[in-house]
Amino acid sequence: MTPLERNLKLTIAYDGTGYHGWQIQPNLPTVQAKINQAATVITGEAVSVIGAGRTDTGVHATGQVANFVTDSQMPITTVQKALNANLPPDIAILDVEEVSADFHARFSAIRRRYKYTILNRFPCPFRRHTAFFVPKPICLQKSQAICNALLGQRNFVSFQKTGSNRPRPVCHIFDASLQKENDVIIFRIEADAFLRGMVRTIVGTILAVHHLPDPAGEIQRIIAAQDRSTAGTSVPAKGLTLTAVEYPSQP
């Protein structure tokens, strides 16, 4: 970075229904492309924002983080207002901060948090883009036992999307839990990193095995198998939301 350049950190929320994920793809609408366009307009520079997580098609966010470098000396509050004025209503910049030159939205992150929303009684037209409808009862006690069995540092390749070839498919899951309020069940998970499709496959596996006599033991066997075919079917993207990204200290 030159002495005049600034590194700006964005906290972003978006409804991913109309987008082919975060990352730019040729001739397809993506969240990254929309923010690049808005930042380029307000700064007069060719901007390329770096995202903390490459959310898939249809996945939402309430706490995505990105950063970009600019020569613009525009005040932070003005940057936020100007970006929002140039973005569609399904994307919002919640916060803008000036951060150190070495801050990188993806590589500086130490933890990421996701939630998955399930409707567990009746479908709801107002949640059709943000929740997965499951009509059969879900046993929370057995499902939580599965969550507990996921904790720790493991090779989670059994939950990785087929065709992904991450060199080291090891993640550390710090927390996993389910909570129910009325007809809504929320699965929350926090880890240092996630494999592609990992959260949606974990949820699908919970739905597939929670009724078994020893669901925690079954999930352990699936992890040990290191084979995607042993896990459950991936649930739809619409129920998944990236809720937060954590960094070692205030950048």
**Catalytic position from the list 15, 56, 183, 227:** 56
Q: Can 90 be counted among the known catalytic residues?
A: no
Mean pLDDT over the full length of the chain: 95
pTM for the complete prediction? 0.95
pLDDT for position 1:
67
* Mean pLDDT, range 131-153, rounded to an integer: 96
CATH class of 111-246: alpha beta
Domain with CATH 3.30.70.660 in the chain: 111-246
Q: What is the pLDDT of residues 172-196, one digit of tens each?
A: 999 999 999 999 999 999 999 999 9
Three-class SS state of 8: strand
Secondary structure class of 47 (helix, strand, coil): coil
Quick one: which of 33, 10, 30, 14 has its CA closest to 91? 14
Say yes or no to pLDDT of 19 above 90: yes
Distances, alpha carbon 160 to alpha carbons 117, 131, 226, in Å: 20, 21, 10
pLDDT of 115 higher than 70: yes
| Statement: residue 130 has pLDDT above 70 | yes
Query: Residues 32-87: pLDDT tens digits?
Result: 999 999 999 999 999 999 999 999 999 999 999 999 999 999 999 999 999 999 99
Topology of the domain covering 6-99: Alpha-Beta Plaits (3.30.70)
Confidence at residue 251, expressed as pLDDT on a 0 to 100 scale: 43
Residues of the chain with CATH 3.30.70.580: 6-99
